[in-house]
Structure 1
């Protein structure tokens, strides 16, 4: 390796998804159901090899596209909220919150492993997916991964993994 530290930034047109959600602020206060056009950005930092390449970033683009496609045009609900309980019965998904029951067609809902559906949590989920194999990343020469998720222009959350986290 020639030692040059380089960052490859991935921010493609297809790294976006439209989804409904509501933020839960407490056991009795939440936003109304609404949606966003979310965008996702990832940056891979590592050393450039003698061949002039840092790493094959194609698999990272595919993972990001797959996650965006899976969440597109769905309602995202948190599986780990201390204030919301999800229950599935047949084709229906029920969300229990503050003494009320919200009923949705199960096919329209994507439960995700978060405490709240926020850009902070979404950035973390994308980041954790990209860094599931930290030793593999290091083997590719990748020393850091940064993921950003936006719910609209000018409102981003950033999640970062670095080789020091291994």
Structure 2
């Protein structure tokens, strides 16, 4: 008996976020501050529902847009990196890595519960947030959920969650 699988994918021109970041690697290196014009896409796999949908495109686009809008025009900082300290003092955020220090206005920063602001971990963060929105607001749990984060043309990372 043949097996069928249905997927829906949203990848729109407005699912973008322009953000600054830096990455630590090899336990002793830290990139210079820089930014990307990221693009995101979301793909779900699930059986068709009573309307013959995997999931409503309009609702999925709203979720994806709200999440990418949260990241837009922010300095993305990791809270789970033991090499980086992030301290809020009044209206400024001070970030330290070894002997380097940066200060940013609090309103321009977004501290994320990740270890590094790589495209891979940003994709996982967005996937986990998308899954939570799907479950809490739409009572929907897909069989798989994939989020792709492209940091420049032709250079992307994908995180896939499966139940």
Q: Which of the five TM-score ranges fits, normalised by the shorter chain?
A: 0.7 to 0.9
Distance, in Å, in 2 between the alignment partners of 1:58 and 1:78 is 31
Give 1:136's aligned residue: 139
Distance, in Å, in 2 between the alignment partners of 1:55 and 1:73 is 29
Displacement of 1:4 in angstroms is: 4.1
Contact 1:39/1:150 (8 A) holds in 2: yes
Displacement of 1:67 in angstroms is: 1.4
- Residues matched between the structures, number: 158
Distance, in Å, in 2 between the alignment partners of 1:91 and 1:50 is 50
Displacement of 1:125 in angstroms is: 0.6
Distance, in Å, in 2 between the alignment partners of 1:25 and 1:55 is 38
97 and 55 in structure 1: CA distance in 2 versus 1, 3 angstrom threshold: same
- Alpha-carbon RMSD across the aligned residues, in angstroms, is 2.0
What SS is found at the alignment partner of 1:65?
Answer: helix
Please say if 1:12 is aligned against 2:15: no
What SS is found at the alignment partner of 1:131?
Answer: helix
Which structure 2 residues correspond to residues 68-87 of structure 1 after superposition, within 5 A? 68-87=68-87
Q: TM-score normalized by structure 2?
A: 0.88
- For structure 2, which runs of at least 5 residues remain unmatched after alignment? none
Q: TM-score normalized by structure 1?
A: 0.87
Give 2:157's aligned residue: 157
Runs of 4+ with deviation above 4 angstroms = none
Contact 2:71/2:110 (8 A) holds in 1: yes
Give 1:48's aligned residue: 48
Which structure 2 residues correspond to residues 54-133 of structure 1 after superposition, within 5 A? 54-132=54-132, 133=135
